[in-house]
Amino acid sequence: MLDNVWLIPLFPLIGFLINGFFGKKIKNEAVIGGIGTLAIFASFLVSCGILLQMIGLPPEQRVFEKVLFPWIHSGAFKADMAFLVDPLSCVMIMVVTGVGSLIHLYSIGYMHGEEGFYRFFAYLNLFCMSMLLLVLGNNMLVMFIGWEGVGLCSYLLIGYYFHKKSAGDAAKKAFVMNRVGDFGFLIGLFTLYWWLGSNHNIWTINFTEIKAASNLLPYGGVVTVATLCFFVGATGKSAQIPLFTWLPDAMEGPTPVSALIHAATMVTAGVYMIARMSFVFIKAPETMMIVACVGAATAIFAATIGTAQNDIKRVLAYSTVSQLGFMFLAMGVGAFTAGIFHLMTHAFFKACLFLGSGSVIHAMHYALHKGHLHDDAQDMRNMGGLKKAMPITFLTFFVSTIAIAGIPGFSGFFSKDEILWQAFANPFHGGLNIILWGIGAVAACFTAFYMFRLVFMTFFGECRINAKVKDHLHESPLVITIPLMVLGFLAVVGGYIGMPKLLGMLPNYFEHWLEPVFALANEYGAKYAHSGGHHNPALEWGLMGLSVVIALVGISIAFTMYVKNTELPGKFTATFPALHRAVYNKWYVDELYDYLFVNPCKAFGQFLWKGFDVIVIDGAVNGVAGVVMAFSGVFRYIQSGLIHNYAWSMAFGVVVMLGYYVFK
Amino acid sequence: MSNLLSLTTFLPVLGVLLLLFIPKDSKGTLRNVTFATTVVTFLVSLPIMFGFQTNAEFQFVENVPWIAAGPFKMRYFIGIDGISLWLVMLTTFIMPIAVLSTYTAVEEKVKEYMILLLLLETGMLGAFISLDMFLFYIFWEVMLIPMYFMIGIWGGKNRIYAAVKFFIYTMVGSLLMLVALMYLYFKGLEAGFTNFGLLQFFNLNLPLSTQTWLFLAFALAFAIKVPMFPLHTWLPDAHTEAPTAGSVILAAILLKMGTYGYVRFAIPLFPEAAHKFAPLIATLAVIGIIYAALVAMVQEDVKKLVAYSSVAHLGFVMLGVFAFNVEGITGGMLQMINHGISTGALFLIVGFIYERRHTRLITDFGGLSKQMPVFATIFMIVTFSSIGLPGTNGFVGEFLVLIGAFESQLRWWTVIASSGVILSAVYMLWVFQRVMFGELDNPKNQKLADLNAREISIMVPLIIMIFVMGIYPKPFIDTMEPAIKKLVSQVRTTRMSARSDSLPAIPAGHPGMPAAPASAPLPEGHAPSAVNPHHPQ
Amino acid sequence: MENLNGYLIISAILFSIGTVGVLVRKNAIVIFMCIEMMLNAVNLTFVALSRHLGNLDGQVFVFFIMTVAAAEAAVGLALMIAFYNNKESIDVDDMNLMKW
């Protein structure tokens, strides 16, 4: 089975080719959707087979590499099209193909009747292929193919409704911001490759080879530079400060896309990349600190914005940014397992939330369409009371909300609590730990607040949709609700494979599974970790309790504001208008970027073109020509055109020359 | 079979002879005969590719006496190695495509146009295969004339200005090159050479001061052709005014003459001077990358935008070549071919919409995706190839250039150049968005026809090459590598000997590394300041 | 030979007449005839000197010049006819198209 790992990205590729080339002719939605879904489902089956086989192997043998064909070999540089299967990539392929299959299935229902149905499935398959290349690549360059490939698909899918200007803008913004990150990734790659090569003659970009050589890397110094560059790449792909603004805009794409790409898989690529190179990152304490700080800052920053948005998908988008912040926090404090664990649980509940919101939008859209209304189908202010009309959607959505809010017993609790505990107790950041934990805890409170605000505004209370169309609201078809139910189920139970030791009911399977991957990183980390940490079970219990309390506080505030006393939000806005405006407008980050980068770049380009190219360079060129013209303008008067003038001057010349020789 | 190269080169001239007997008015026949000639040329060139042995030697060599005038002995000396092989193939590959694209674009003076196209092909092929410096010079000039007329006669509104600018710019450089070439020849005569054969001149150990001047003369000629910042302003004008086929050939092949000139002539002939000027040239290349990208971003004319993007791409080529290591030069060579394919394709795309709408202003378009889905798909693929997305050809070349340059002493240059990766995405995607996305609100655009069979068949080979070279570039890299390794060693040995008196020991890096210990890069002024010990002045 | 000077003087006079004619006349045909006169003056010199020096090269040159003069007459007259057809004049002052 392991030898067939290349089948995993191959199936979606075939799906893409079939739908891309013939989709337009096939026309039948069931066939197109079926091909797309089956392609990724086949990958899922292969992934399951690989997972089972890996489980059967002893932990130290769970690394397998498969070279498909040589790709770029030049000089000392070698990059093969090759795959790496280890426990980490196993987790990732399971998440990608599993969640991916469900979302493909969902899309058949959701995208029904869309003009570019085949195009959508083709892109979705292409995305899955790229994502699988990203997580399976055994060297940085194959990872980079996937890395850029998912960026491309994200571009294509955000721009799916290309006739809308906002969609085109958002797509471009996403790609360009990702490119800024890619720039960092490339420089990081170059630095690491060059340093290992020139100092130790190990010219490689292969993960296992770098891992083997990682003991040669110094602590800090060049590794800090390289890892910081990689981290820039991660911030681009995973929407962290400062490159996060593309993700909320990316909600212009169809909802399944938001669920698959902008919640469950692609945006976690940065986290995955850090985990994949944990043995390098851990050697740069400064980078670790920056990763942790950026993660924490993003978590709180995005969470605050999330509290004031009215578009259901935008709330979820900021929630995603915030949750990714948690994952980076985990990476930064050396809790790689916890980060990946949160990545997985987040994939379940956030995909469920997005798909649920899609289901809501679908229903809203249908109802509004029936009534010939042009209200915004995504605005929560038009929703409310959907609980009755859409029970399954509500239930799954509610379960996932509890999971993300961090209520014990649901998956999000286990993963998030582990991150917060590690932020507090990790041995790396000293006095900073308490701040990191504090920010994380506050962000968790905000999370609970805005998520429950969303649930209350959408599903509870009065139905605020135009009364005319109220009766048209109905539950979505099975093809949509089945994925919801599966994901909702996973959002509940997904956490039990990684229960903290403290609770002790089940062993922490997840940690054991990933142990061989992160063992080396932990070993390196231990070398400079200050001793002890805060391994006090009582403290851990206390913090766990505290985080539950925090979540409950967030929920109760939301309950007070949006269920019990619905005038409160209005009052609040009236009291602090400036604050609300700033939060509502996303702290004006977009405007700031426009002001700082976009506009100066354009102006500078204009100046270089009209000012430098045309005036300076061409001015010089045309100036030279002008000088020549001016001189010849004087000399041309000699050319009188009168034959006698020529004849006389010739005769005169002859006389002069003869005279010279005669009287010399 | 030994005359295969000559046959390929002069087949187009045979085509010209054939065209002379076809009456002016039978345009269809003229086009078909020209197309057939280029296709046959391509087919004839295929055995060259398949028969090429992967080694560093020159192959398919023909060497016969040609002109002997006093001390001047020119020979008809041609041959190819891994470096020129792919440029020859690129030329024969692009020409049928370029000819096919003129079927509806050119309606006036078809006969003359076709004759010029074929003469141009001969000129270009000849320049790539010449191993006699004088022969090279002749072909170099031969290329200039058809292009001049193509711009000047079939060009747009401002064609005379553009054509003259193109001609004079190029001429200034090539005359300096001619002077340098003559000087070099006399130096060769002193050293006992009897003809203009290029290869012997590689062993001519000139003192650094002489090398400097000669290098500058050659470099200027080639820099204009590349074109490098700040000698690039002829390019946007020439491209904007030239007819589509002219632009395609200009971008795809003629510009490669400049970079090829560096690789084949300027660097191996004057290695120490090349090292001395590497930082300068790299600086200009990097400025070119950023500058052209910024300027491209704000263009209003699609064709001008593509022209500026050419300047940026060729900046990458120059950066790679002047890294002086295998990765960098391989990347540069690949990037030359990639640029030929993807920028050629971009010009064809611009030509398609120009033929339909007779405008190239970006603001006149918008929302074309809806009306022209096939066109949209092709345009998108080419756009991403131009951006350098992994999986397309653009990435492989760009990546090798960057990694090669990063390993060399040009590390900081590389960091800046890499940011061009961001800018290229900005300008290409922005233009793509403005042309293809959005509402189809201009009534003139609402009736546009999608690409027809001929146009699709023009693009398909290019698209295939984009993916082939992106996914499996191994055959290309493998055939180039021996020749490039030889070039690198030529450059390095001279440089090492030049340094040996000033630096006691140089740890040997791996074959792709410059001689300098990379952990402590030497100040660049250090290297060439030492005089070549073989020629103590 | 005593009378060489005589030949040379006649030839110089002929040449001067021709030159002055070329310089002062405006009728193209007259100018043309003057040029012929100058050529023949040179021919005379050639022949005389050839005889004086006993070297036949000079006489060979005369044949060359005569041939050239004949060709020139043909081309020149043709040009003039073409010019007359265009301008209805053979006045050289009317030939000023090349003027700036």
Touch between C and B (at least 3 CB pairs under 8 Å): no
| Rounded Cα–Cα distance for residues B459 and A148 (Å) | 24
Among partner residues C19, C95, C100, which is closest to A643 by beta-carbon distance? Answer: C95
Instruction: Give the best residue of A634, A642, A643 to mutate against chain C (max C CB count within 10 A).
Output: A643
Q: Give domain status of residue B526, yes or no.
A: no
Among partner residues C19, C22, C99, which is closest to A641 by beta-carbon distance? Answer: C99
Nearest CA in chain B to A236: B422
| Rounded Cα–Cα distance for residues B330 and B320 (Å) | 8
> Quick check: A608 pLDDT over 90?
no
Q: Is A186 on the interface with B (CB under 8 A)?
A: yes
**pLDDT tens digits for range A203-224:** 888 888 888 888 888 888 889 9
Among partner residues A141, A194, A621, which is closest to B407 by beta-carbon distance? Answer: A194
Nearest CA in chain A to B169: A621
Q: pLDDT averaged over chain A? A: 86
- DSSP conformation letters of A517-566: HHHHHHHHHHHHSPS-----HHHHHHHHHHHHHHHHHHHHHHHIIIII-T
Residues 6 or more apart in contact with residue A562 via CB below 8 angstroms? A452, A453, A456, A457, A460, A461, A569
| Residue in the block written with tokens 């398609």 | B352
Q: Is A633 on the interface with C (CB under 8 A)?
A: no
Q: Give, in order, the Cα–Cα distances in Å from B5 to each of A367, B62, B84.
A: 72, 8, 12
* Mean pLDDT, range B187-197, rounded to an integer: 85
> Inter-chain contact B477–A72, Cβ cutoff 8 Å?
yes
| Rounded Cα–Cα distance for residues A479 and A17 (Å) | 24
> Quick check: C9 pLDDT over 50?
yes
Distance (Å) from the alpha carbon of B492 to chain A's nearest alpha carbon = 15
> Inter-chain contact A76–B477, Cβ cutoff 8 Å?
no
Q: Give domain status of residue B521, yes or no.
A: no
Q: What φ, ψ does residue A65 adopt, rounded to 5°?
A: -120, 140
Q: Is A410 exposed, middle or buried (0-12, 13-18, 19+ CB in 10 A)?
A: buried
Instruction: Give the best residue of A24, A74, A143 to mutate against chain B (max B CB count within 10 A).
Output: A74
The C-alpha R_g of chain C, in whole angstroms, comes to 17
Q: Does domain C4-88 have CATH number 1.10.287.3510?
A: yes
Quick one: what percent of chain A has pLDDT higher than 70? 99
Domain boundaries, chain C: 4-88
* Mean pLDDT, range A105-112, rounded to an integer: 88
Give the pLDDT band (50/70/90) at residue A406: confident
**Residues within 8 A of A (CB atoms), C 17-76 only:** 19, 22-23, 26
> Inter-chain contact C92–A636, Cβ cutoff 8 Å?
no
Neighbours of chain B (3+ CB pairs under 8 A): A
Q: Is B521 on the interface with A (CB under 8 A)?
A: no
> Inter-chain contact B407–A199, Cβ cutoff 8 Å?
no
Q: Which residues of A touch B421 (CB under 8 A)?
A: 179, 182-183, 186
**pLDDT tens digits for range B239-248:** 988 888 889 9
Distance (Å) from the alpha carbon of A611 to chain B's nearest alpha carbon = 10
Q: Which residues of A touch C100 (CB under 8 A)?
A: 636-637, 639-641
> Inter-chain contact A636–C96, Cβ cutoff 8 Å?
no
| Rounded Cα–Cα distance for residues A323 and A310 (Å) | 19
> Inter-chain contact C23–A642, Cβ cutoff 8 Å?
no
Nearest CA in chain C to A652: C23
Distance (Å) from the alpha carbon of C19 to chain A's nearest alpha carbon = 8
Cβ-contact B144, B167 below 8 angstroms: yes
Q: What is the pLDDT of residue C17?
A: 93
Q: Give domain status of residue B12, yes or no.
A: no
Nearest CA in chain B to A199: B519
Q: What is the pLDDT of residue B336?
A: 92
Domain of B294?
270-497
Give the pLDDT band (50/70/90) at residue A458: confident
> Quick check: A634 pLDDT over 90?
no
* Mean pLDDT, range B262-276, rounded to an integer: 89
Give the pLDDT band (50/70/90) at residue B532: very low
Q: What is the pLDDT of residue B495?
A: 56
Distance (Å) from the alpha carbon of A72 to chain B's nearest alpha carbon = 6
Among partner residues C22, C26, C100, which is closest to A639 by beta-carbon distance? Answer: C100
**pLDDT tens digits for range A12-54:** 999 999 988 888 888 788 888 899 999 999 999 999 999 998 8
Distance (Å) from the alpha carbon of A326 to chain B's nearest alpha carbon = 28
* Mean pLDDT, range B172-199, rounded to an integer: 87
Helix (H) or strand (E) holding B292: helix B271-297
> Inter-chain contact A74–B414, Cβ cutoff 8 Å?
no
- pTM here is 0.85
Distance (Å) from the alpha carbon of A623 to chain C's nearest alpha carbon = 23
Closest to A247 (Cα-Cα) out of A344, A198, A186, A181: A181
Q: Which residues of B touch A75 (CB under 8 A)?
A: 325-327, 330, 404, 481, 510-512
Give the tokens for residue B297. Answer: 């971003």
Q: pLDDT averaged over chain B? A: 85
Q: Is A647 on the interface with C (CB under 8 A)?
A: yes
Count residue pairs from A and C with Cβ separation < 8 A: 29
**pLDDT tens digits for range B476-531:** 999 999 999 888 888 876 655 544 444 433 344 444 444 444 444 444 434 433 33
**Residues within 8 A of A (CB atoms), B 216-235 only:** 230, 232-233
Distance (Å) from the alpha carbon of A74 to chain B's nearest alpha carbon = 6
Give the pLDDT band (50/70/90) at residue A526: confident
Cβ-contact A19, A107 below 8 angstroms: no
**pLDDT tens digits for range B338-379:** 999 999 999 999 998 888 888 888 888 888 888 888 898 899
Cα B130 to chain centroid distance, Å, stands at 16
| Rounded Cα–Cα distance for residues B245 and B96 (Å) | 10
Distance (Å) from the alpha carbon of B351 to chain A's nearest alpha carbon = 23
Quick one: what percent of chain B has pLDDT higher than 70? 91
Q: Is B430 on the interface with A (CB under 8 A)?
A: yes
Q: Give domain status of residue B463, yes or no.
A: yes
Q: Is A180 on the interface with B (CB under 8 A)?
A: yes
Q: What is the pLDDT of residue B509?
A: 42
Number of independent structural domains in chain B: 1
> Inter-chain contact A640–C97, Cβ cutoff 8 Å?
no
Is the confidence metric ipTM above 0.95 for this complex?
Answer: no
* Mean pLDDT, range B418-438, rounded to an integer: 87
Q: Give domain status of residue B64, yes or no.
A: no
Q: Give domain status of residue B460, yes or no.
A: yes
Q: Is C2 on the interface with A (CB under 8 A)?
A: no
Among partner residues A75, A180, A187, which is closest to B511 by beta-carbon distance? Answer: A75
Q: Is A115 on the interface with B (CB under 8 A)?
A: no
**AA letter at A324:** L
Cβ-contact B333, B263 below 8 angstroms: yes
| Rounded Cα–Cα distance for residues A532 and B160 (Å) | 80
Distance (Å) from the alpha carbon of A386 to chain B's nearest alpha carbon = 34
Give the tokens for residue A102. Answer: 């469900």
> Inter-chain contact B414–A176, Cβ cutoff 8 Å?
no
Q: SS3 of A217, please?
A: coil
Nearest CA in chain B to A164: B438
Q: Give domain status of residue B527, yes or no.
A: no
Distance (Å) from the alpha carbon of A126 to chain B's nearest alpha carbon = 12
Q: Is B440 on the interface with A (CB under 8 A)?
A: yes
Distance (Å) from the alpha carbon of B145 to chain A's nearest alpha carbon = 21
Among partner residues A148, A190, A625, which is closest to B390 by beta-carbon distance? Answer: A148
Q: What is the pLDDT of residue B523?
A: 41
**Residues within 8 A of B (CB atoms), A 314-373 only:** none
Instruction: Give the best residue of A16, A67, A72 to mutate against chain B (max B CB count within 10 A).
Output: A72
> Inter-chain contact C23–A636, Cβ cutoff 8 Å?
no
